[in-house]
């Protein structure tokens, strides 16, 4: 008996520029165990089918035949129909990096039809510079697509979004009623295009099992619409759902109608549940082949007796498969959660993500907003990989730290991670990586960086961190040398009182020093900012903005984003709101989703009024504009003056750094090459000259003759042997007799080496 054929689907919509990694992870894991797995990104395929000449022709025809209340903006777009039809495919090819020669026409020749998204176009020369022609064109082409997205939302596809689809139906959906009604309604044009793609895919793959990843509320409707279609065209096929949305929202599901669409709903990491399920279904198919063959044609439309037979047979899986973290509808028609004691798949054993089957050259690189970190999210193809499972800190009170994907922390050896990186580069041809950790651990990043430098892997990477003191300036330089171009981290509320209350484990001064270290190393820094945390006062909100202003003024943060605090059921605040002096006000748990909680903050301020002003200030700060305006400038209501001294960040950056002599137990690392040594004769100066040939410049270092061979040997070993750790105290032990090591650590030669790339880690 052959193992089941598996089809993994990312439903619309997540990102246009790069695949969401969930299916690649499961494919890599299952493929390593011999299962036949195909994956597809139907979000991307829907966009490509829709934004084509044929797709837009169908859109315009349906609008013209329909009875839509049209705005002046849409009427203008309808009058420009022929222009849109003639430009849409060239624009998509340009955004796929297949025709860069279109950039001058987009920028300078009125090539694109323009609707409302072009009304507030920024001064592009200021934003991109005089040499940024391709970037300007990419931004304008993105606005062009967003105009078409607005056309869809106002007419044939009211639930459309480029990174979400029918998101409203999945948000705070304590009951299944609204979703069920939408799924039972006739499909709209966008649904029809999506279902056509699915029909072709299923006909080609003929899967036994179809799995859907649902990371966000904006993927739920699409997944269920697709699953419902599978029940119609291939009743024998099982459907499975997992992902971030079920992990946070559906942990207490009791809604049996959901299982009209999905046979099995899995929680937390998918590898273990998928493995148990496939083992069980393989066994089931072997032992119940005759029953399955007899009842499958009747499964959806047949007699009650046939359906009951199949349900009973399916329920047998419960006992034969030893299912793990799985919901299903049992033989009695009730929702049942099955979680037999099984060990989790250790992080080192999950395998290498497999991106085969995905059309990597078809993704679109877009520039939506003029924010350097947001650009990394939307522009370029990034291979996504985790350095560690879970969060090593897992204490922040606003975070879902009680859930497995954060609470269970595991690491993998750096050599294994580097092997995976090399495998992915060989498969995809892409050397860009986004490390998608909750917070990448600094020591694991250190070891990985050394391994990457040892192998000369030559990747470019970015990821999320905590602004903790372990990220010393030297570690920042090491990470930059290994390919790090950007980090994002949570400053959250720039108030030491509130940082302590949320157990963030950092202080403002510490954040300033870490961000300065990354900036000095040439790494872009993005700060996640929060407003509306429980008990936050108006004064603290204004003071937080002042700290943010100072960070941008100092040039040590280059990007940021404000988001409003939300209370979730799985966070410490949600589990114990009284501790944080807030009161949960709803919603009442229902049979379907439950995660986002409403709350009153009687001791805090009116948080909602600050959102627009904070966002406007931040947008200007990251462009270096209005940094010296009073904070009241950003708000249309009275706010108090800040109580934060204007030199708070500057003072934090002036705090003394621990001298090198106090770092005896830390490791030495040399970023450069082995130098050449030349000894001068005693008649001259008795000096040793070390000549360094480096990437950007060559330089010489002159030291006393007695130190030359020692220093040459040390730097040669450091540049050629990354496996042997040489500590500073080891170097001191071999230091030539008659010289004072502590004095050498303060010499011009040592300071020059430190500047050029001698790190203490």
**Is residue 699's pLDDT more than 80?**
yes
User: Is pLDDT larger for residue 697 or for residue 306?
Assistant: 697
What's the 3-state SS for 161-223? ECCEECHHHHCCCCCCHHHHHHHHCCCCHHHHHHHHHHHHHHHHHCCCEEEEECCCHHHHHHH
**Is residue 296's pLDDT more than 80?**
no
Residues 83-111, mean pLDDT to the nearest whole number: 94
Asked if residues 253 and 265 have their Cβ atoms less than 8 Å apart, the reply is yes
Residues 83-103, mean pLDDT to the nearest whole number: 96
Note the pLDDT tens digit of each residue in 638-669: 999 999 999 999 999 998 888 999 999 999 99
Q: What is the pLDDT at residue 679?
A: 85
Distance CA 322, CA 10 (A): 27
pLDDT band at residue 304 using 50, 70 and 90 as cut-offs: low
Q: What is the pLDDT at residue 321?
A: 63
- Average pLDDT of the chain, as a whole number: 91
Set out the domains of the chain in order of their start, with CATH numbers: 5-48+166-347 (3.40.50.280), 69-154 (no CATH), 365-653 (3.80.30.20), 660-760 (no CATH)
Residues 670-678, mean pLDDT to the nearest whole number: 94
Q: What is the largest CA-CA distance in the chain?
A: 107
Q: What is the pLDDT at residue 637?
A: 94
Q: What is the pLDDT at residue 297?
A: 45
Distance CA 761, CA 301 (A): 67
H helices of 321-441, where?
372-378, 404-407, 414-428
User: Exposure string (b/e) for 416-453, b if CB count within 10 Å is 16 or more?
Assistant: bbbebbeebbebbebbbbbbebbbbbbebbbbbbbbbb
Q: What is the pTM of this model?
A: 0.93
Note the pLDDT tens digit of each residue in 163-198: 889 889 988 889 999 999 999 999 999 999 999 999
**Is residue 286's pLDDT more than 80?**
no
Distance CA 635, CA 608 (A): 12
Strand partners, 524: 486
Q: What is the pLDDT at residue 301?
A: 42
pLDDT band at residue 299 using 50, 70 and 90 as cut-offs: very low
Nearest in space to 53 (alpha carbons), one of 16, 87, 102: 87
H helices of 439-481, where?
442-455, 473-481
In percent, the amount of the chain with pLDDT more than 90 equals 78
In this structure, the number of other CB atoms found within 10 A of the CB of residue 675 comes to 23
Residues 400-420, mean pLDDT to the nearest whole number: 93
**Could you tell me the CA-to-CA distances from 331 to 309, 322, 527 in Å, in that order?**
9, 17, 50
Q: Picking from 2-6, 314-318, 378-382, 697-701, which range would have the lowest pLDDT averaged per residue?
A: 314-318
User: Is pLDDT larger for residue 57 or for residue 173?
Assistant: 57
Note the pLDDT tens digit of each residue in 595-640: 999 999 998 888 999 999 999 999 999 999 999 999 999 999 999 9
Quote the tokens at residue 512. 């300033």
Residues 64-85, mean pLDDT to the nearest whole number: 95
Asked if residues 577 and 601 have their Cβ atoms less than 8 Å apart, the reply is no
Note the pLDDT tens digit of each residue in 457-497: 999 999 999 999 999 999 999 999 999 999 999 999 889 99
Question: For residue 563, what is the enclosing H or E element?
Answer: strand 559-564
Note the pLDDT tens digit of each residue in 14-48: 989 999 999 999 999 999 999 999 999 999 999 99
**Is residue 684's pLDDT more than 60?**
no
User: Is pLDDT larger for residue 270 or for residue 125?
Assistant: 270
User: Is pLDDT larger for residue 549 or for residue 723?
Assistant: 549
ω before 587 within 30° of 0 (cis)?
Answer: yes
Distance CA 73, CA 77 (A): 6
Residue carrying the six token digits 């040459």? 712
Q: What is the pLDDT at residue 374?
A: 83
Q: What is the pLDDT at residue 317?
A: 54
Distance CA 506, CA 550 (A): 17
Strand partners, 118: none
Residues 512-530, mean pLDDT to the nearest whole number: 97
**Is residue 298's pLDDT more than 50?**
no
pLDDT band at residue 703 using 50, 70 and 90 as cut-offs: very high
Q: What is the pLDDT at residue 603?
A: 87
In percent, the amount of the chain with pLDDT more than 70 equals 93
Q: What is the pLDDT at residue 367?
A: 86
Distance CA 533, CA 327 (A): 34
Asked if residues 505 and 466 have their Cβ atoms less than 8 Å apart, the reply is yes
Instruction: Find the helix packing angle between 442-455 and 473-481, rounded to 10°.
Output: 40
pLDDT band at residue 376 using 50, 70 and 90 as cut-offs: confident
Quote the tokens at residue 705. 């003759």
Asked if residues 29 and 351 have their Cβ atoms less than 8 Å apart, the reply is yes
User: Is pLDDT larger for residue 577 or for residue 2?
Assistant: 577
**Is residue 556's pLDDT more than 80?**
yes
C-alpha 202: how far from its chain's center?
29
Note the pLDDT tens digit of each residue in 497-512: 999 999 999 999 999 9
């Amino acid at each position: 008996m052959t193992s089941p054929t598996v089809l993994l689907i990312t439903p619309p919509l997540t990102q246009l520029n790069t695949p969401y990694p969930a299916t690649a992870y499961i494919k890599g894991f299952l493929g390593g165990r011999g299962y036949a797995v195909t994956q597809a990104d139907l979000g991307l395929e829907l966009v490509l089918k829709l934004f084509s000449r044929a797709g837009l022709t169908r859109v315009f025809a349906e609008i013209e035949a329909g009875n839509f209340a049209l705005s002046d903006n849409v009427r203008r777009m309808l009058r420009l129909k022929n222009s849109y039809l003639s430009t849409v495919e060239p624009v998509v090819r340009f955004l796929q990096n297949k025709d860069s020669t279109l950039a001058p026409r987009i920028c300078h020749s009125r090539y694109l039809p323009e609707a409302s998204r072009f009304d507030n176009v920024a001064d592009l020369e200021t934003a991109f510079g005089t040499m940024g022609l391709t970037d300007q064109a990419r931004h304008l082409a993105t606005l062009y697509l967003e105009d078409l997205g607005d056309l869809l939302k106002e007419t044939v596809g009211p639930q459309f979004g480029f990174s979400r689809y029918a998101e409203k139906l999945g948000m705070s959906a304590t009951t299944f009623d609204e979703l069920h009604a939408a799924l039972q309604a006739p499909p709209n044009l966008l649904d029809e295009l999506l279902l056509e793609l699915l029909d072709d895919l299923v006909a080609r793959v003929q899967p036994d099992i179809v799995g859907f990843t649902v990371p966000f509320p904006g993927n739920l409707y699409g997944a269920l619409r697709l699953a419902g279609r599978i029940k119609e065209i291939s009743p024998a096929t099982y459907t499975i759902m997992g992902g971030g949305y079920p992990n946070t929202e559906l942990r207490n599901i009791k809604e049996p109608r959901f299982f009209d669409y999905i046979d099995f709903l899995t929680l937390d990491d998918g590898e273990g549940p998928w493995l148990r399920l496939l083992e069980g279904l393989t066994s089931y198919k072997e032992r119940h082949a005759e029953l399955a063959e007899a009842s499958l044609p009747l499964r959806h439309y047949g007699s009650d007796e046939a359906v009951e037979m199949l349900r009973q047979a399916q329920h047998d899986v419960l006992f034969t498969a030893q299912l793990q973290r799985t919901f299903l509808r049992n033989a009695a028609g009730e929702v049942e959660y099955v979680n037999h004691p099984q060990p989790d798949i250790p992080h080192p054993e999950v395998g290498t993500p497999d991106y085969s089957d995905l059309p990597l050259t078809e993704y679109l690189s877009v520039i939506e907003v003029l924010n350097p970190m947001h650009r990394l999210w939307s522009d370029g193809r990034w291979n996504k990989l985790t350095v560690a499972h879970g969060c090593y800190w897992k204490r922040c009170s606003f975070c879902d730290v009680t859930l497995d994907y954060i609470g269970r922390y595991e690491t993998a050896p750096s050599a294994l991670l580097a092997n995976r990186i090399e495998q992915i580069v060989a498969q995809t041809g892409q050397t860009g990586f986004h490390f998608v950790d909750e917070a990448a651990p600094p020591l694991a990043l250190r070891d990985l960086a050394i391994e990457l430098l040892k192998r000369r892997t030559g990747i470019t990477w970015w990821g999320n961190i905590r602004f903790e003191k372990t990220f010393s300036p030297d570690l920042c330089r090491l990470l930059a040398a290994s390919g790090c171009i950007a980090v994002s981290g949570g400053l959250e509320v720039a108030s030491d009182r509130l940082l302590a209350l949320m157990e963030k484990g950092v202080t403002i001064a510490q954040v300033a020093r870490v961000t300065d270290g990354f900036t000095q190393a040439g790494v872009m820094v993005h700060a996640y900012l929060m407003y509306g945390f429980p008990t936050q006062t108006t004064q603290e909100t204004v003071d937080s903005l002042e700290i943010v202003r100072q960070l941008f003024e100092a040039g040590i943060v280059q990007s940021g984003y404000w988001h409003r605090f939300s209370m979730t059921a799985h966070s410490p605040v949600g589990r114990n709101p009284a501790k944080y002096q807030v009161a949960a006000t709803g919603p009442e748990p229902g049979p379907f989703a439950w995660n986002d909680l409403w709350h009153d903050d009687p001791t805090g301020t009116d948080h909602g009024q600050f959102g627009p002003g904070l966002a406007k200030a931040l947008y200007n700060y990251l462009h270096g504009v209005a940094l010296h305006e009073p904070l009241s400038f950003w708000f249309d209501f009275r706010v108090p003056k800040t109580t934060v001294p204007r030199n708070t960040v500057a003072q934090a950056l002036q705090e003394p750094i621990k001298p090198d002599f106090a770092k005896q137990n830390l490791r030495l690392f040399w970023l450069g090459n082995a130098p050449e040594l030349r000894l001068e004769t005693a008649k001259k100066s008795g000096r040793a000259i070390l000549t360094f040939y480096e990437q950007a410049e060559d330089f010489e270092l002159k030291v006393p003759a007695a130190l030359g061979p020692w220093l040459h040997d040390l730097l040669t070993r450091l540049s050629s042997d990354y496996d042997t750790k040489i500590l500073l105290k080891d170097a001191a032990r071999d230091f030539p007799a008659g010289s004072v090591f502590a004095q050498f650590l303060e010499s011009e030669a040592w300071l020059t080496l430190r500047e050029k790339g001698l790190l203490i880690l």
